[in-house]
Amino acid sequence: MSAPDLAHAWEVAAAVPDPEIPVVTVADLGILRDLRAEGPVVVARVTPTYSGCPATAAIELAIEGALAGAGFDVRIERVLSPPWTTDWITEEGREKLRAYGIAPPEKAGNSVRALFGETLVTCPHCGSTTTERLSEFGSTPCKAHYRCLSCREPFDYFKCL
């Protein structure tokens, strides 16, 4: 039994798209933590965005399926600690979300309004921070629906914390 090629396995696993927002990958979102070898088996450590997120099982299956399809013996290990935060989203992931018309989550602690329990959300269309929340839930439970007061465009805010 030879050890699996972890570099190749990472390429395969990191390319798996998020089932809710297919423009970003599980690596972009920071959901895929790392891979390690246990004998001939690739163990993929996955941290769900939040424990109630219905996409978690789909994400784990997608990563497992991609690795198995590439010929790896794979086991998924769900890691709940430390909990996922939006700070784990890579810069590339944030760019892709913006390009897709979803406001990327603000980095924690960079907003004065966060002190008052309010999130400062930047419009992905024009960059204005003058935005209002229309509803707590957008097209999926992980998104809230917002409207920009500058350019009047509605948009989704990724809030899966």
| Least Cβ distance, residue 147 to Zn ion (angstroms) | 9
| Least Cβ distance, residue 123 to Zn ion (angstroms) | 3
Stretch of residues binding Zn ion (CB under 5 A), selected from 32-40, 89-97, 112-120, 150-158: 150-158
| Least Cβ distance, residue 149 to Zn ion (angstroms) | 8
Instruction: For residue 131, give both structure tokens.
Output: 């935005």
Stretch of residues binding Zn ion (CB under 5 A), selected from 42-50, 91-99, 104-112, 123-131: 123-131
SS3 string, the chain, reads CCCCCHHHHHHHHHCCECCCCCCCEHHHHCCEEEEEEECCEEEEEECCCCCCCCHHHHHHHHHHHHHHHCCCEEEEEECCCCCCCHHHCCHHHHHHHHHCCEECCCCCCCCCHHHHCCCCCCCCCCCCCCEEEEECCCCCCCEEEEEECCCCCEEEEECCC
Cβ atoms of 158 and 104 closer than 8 Å: yes
Q: Does 150 bind Zn ion (CB under 5 A)?
A: yes
Q: Which of 125, 133, 145, 147 binds Zn ion (CB under 5 A)?
A: 125
Lateral strand order in the sheet of 143-148 = 102-103, 154-158, 143-148, 131-135
Q: Which of 27, 32, 123, 144 binds Zn ion (CB under 5 A)?
A: 123
Q: Does 129 bind Zn ion (CB under 5 A)?
A: no
Q: Does 23 bind Zn ion (CB under 5 A)?
A: no
Q: Does 148 bind Zn ion (CB under 5 A)?
A: yes
| Least Cβ distance, residue 121 to Zn ion (angstroms) | 11
| Least Cβ distance, residue 75 to Zn ion (angstroms) | 45
Q: Does 128 bind Zn ion (CB under 5 A)?
A: yes
Interface with Zn ion (CB under 5 A) = 123, 125-126, 128, 148, 150-151
